[in-house]
Amino acid sequence: MAHELIPGLEGIPIAESKVSFVDGQKGRLEYRGISVEDLAENSTFEETAFLLMYGHLPSQGEFEEFNEEFQRVFRLKYQIVDLMKHLPETGHPMDALQAGVAAIGMFYQPRSNLTEAQRRLACTRILAKTPCLVAAFQRLRHGEEWPLPLKHLGLAANFLYMMTDKEPDPEAARVLDVCLILHADHTMNASTFAGRVVGSTLADPYCVVSSALGALSGPLHGGANEDAMRLFEAIGTPENARPYIEDMIKNKKKIPGFGHRVYKTIDPRAKILKKHAETLAKKSGNPIYQIAVEAEKVVTEHYAAKGIWPNVDFFSGIVYSELGIPRDCFTPIFAIARVAGWLGHLLEQLEGNRIFRPTQIYTGQHDQPYVSMNER
């Protein structure tokens, strides 16, 4: 029995897993053994989600069946749309998403002891409905109509369509599809761990995903993409990047979008996202990319030797904002993608499951007397 506390469980395995793999020294990420670069080049998000959840690339027949089921469960029930309408418009879309996923689960029985087919359907349902929840909340909170998803569009294109009411340019849809592939899984991070803990209690997949969503929303995890964008906006011009960042470093402030528990080199996802950010920003003439590049230069000059490099969140916000997505929907996009990984981990957790029940090192007192209120 271990008696030493490892803060943040650094280096402590909590499961055996075949879902994804990271080599933090070489900057390599694989899903089921396939590099993310290869998937980003050749796959779609839906196919990658199937790979993560079921362990192999789908055959033509499997993929058609998966897509048909996907189309059948895409829409939101009117009660869920009403729920999105009644949430505070000033609330964060991550909270709306978390509430929405939990509420969707209330429509489906049983809540526990699901058969394999019921669990599979629940997984497809969550994967398909998550983008609808984000888009519905975003549109309805601005008093706009939420358009129903279109049958002929894939998930990424449909999401852009529902967010903007315009069928997106196929290139823009493909860029978002690549972003979703890149965010779909990342080994045993905080939200995946949270999801596996909840899954180990045999709670249903809706509870698992809503718990993981809560974990992802924090600024040390998925929320850093919004903070990175705020940083670029605060810097304002490429020329101001050096003094601004040097001041942050002098004052020991953390740079959002930099550093990672596992990567000690540049995150492979950041490399791909940087290229897309550059292409999109050049096309639109937005100076924000140049601000980010200047900021990256200064941070790496100071911190690369310490193993602090850009992570997935540094450039992703630029890509999203160029696609017309508002800042507080950046982390929900991360979530739409990560649902695939969380569900892959849930299905894996349930093979030979044992409930998580770690221990603690008690540092409190013993044998204290109860002191009555008037004697305290």
What are the residues whose beta carbons fall under 8 Å from the beta carbon of 357, sequence distance 6 or more?
A: none
75 DSSP 8-state letter: S
d(CA 40, CA 45): 9
Min dist. Cβ of residue 311 to ligand ACO (A): 4
Q: Answer yes or no whether residue 274 interacts with ligand ACO by CB under 6 A.
A: no
CB of 87 to ligand ACO, least distance (A): 25
Rg of the chain over Cα atoms, rounded to whole angstroms, equals 22
For residue 259, state whether it binds ligand ACO (rule: CB under 6 A).
yes
Q: Which of residues 279-308 bind ligand ACO (CB under 6 A)?
A: 308
Does 183 qualify as catalytic in the annotation? no
Show the binding pattern over residues 125-144: x = contacts ligand ACO (CB under 6 A), - = does not.
--------------------
To the nearest whole angstrom, how small is the minimum distance from the Cβ of residue 305 to ligand ACO?
11
Exactly one of 186, 260, 276, 345 is catalytic; which is it? 260
Closest CA to 29 of 310, 290, 209, 267: 267
| Nearest CB to ligand ACO, comparing residues 54 and 303 | 303
Which range binds ligand ACO by CB under 6 A, 68-76, 83-91, 259-267, 277-285?
A: 259-267
Alpha-carbon distance of 191 to 346, in angstroms, equals 12
Sign of CA dihedral 135, 136, 142, 145: positive
CB-based burial of residue 46 (10 Å sphere; 0-12 exposed, 13-18 middle, 19+ buried)?
A: buried
**Per-residue burial over 277-314, b = 16 or more CB atoms within 10 Å of its CB, e = otherwise:** bbebbeeeeeebbbbbbbbbebbeeeeeeeebbbbbbb
What tokens appear for 77 in the block? 């029930």
Q: Is 152 a catalytic residue?
A: no
Active-site residue, from 185, 204, 267, 313: 313
Interaction mask 207-246, ligand ACO, x per CB under 6 A = -------------xxx-x----------------------
Nearest distance, CB of residue 183 and ligand ACO, angstroms: 8
User: Of these, 260, 274, 276, 345, which contacts ligand ACO (CB under 6 A)?
Assistant: 260
What is the arrangement of strands in the sheet containing 20-23, beginning at the earlier edge strand? Answer: 20-23, 28-31, 34-35
Residue 271 sits in the site that holds ligand ACO (CB under 6 A): no
**What's the min distance (Å) between Cβ of 28 and ligand ACO?**
16
Name which position in 3, 5, 6, 8 contacts ligand ACO (CB under 6 A): 8
H helices, E strands: number in the chain: 16, 3
**Binding site residues, ligand ACO, CB under 6 A:** 8, 220-222, 224, 254-261, 308, 311-313
Give the residue numbers annotated as catalytic, written as ranges. Answer: 260, 313
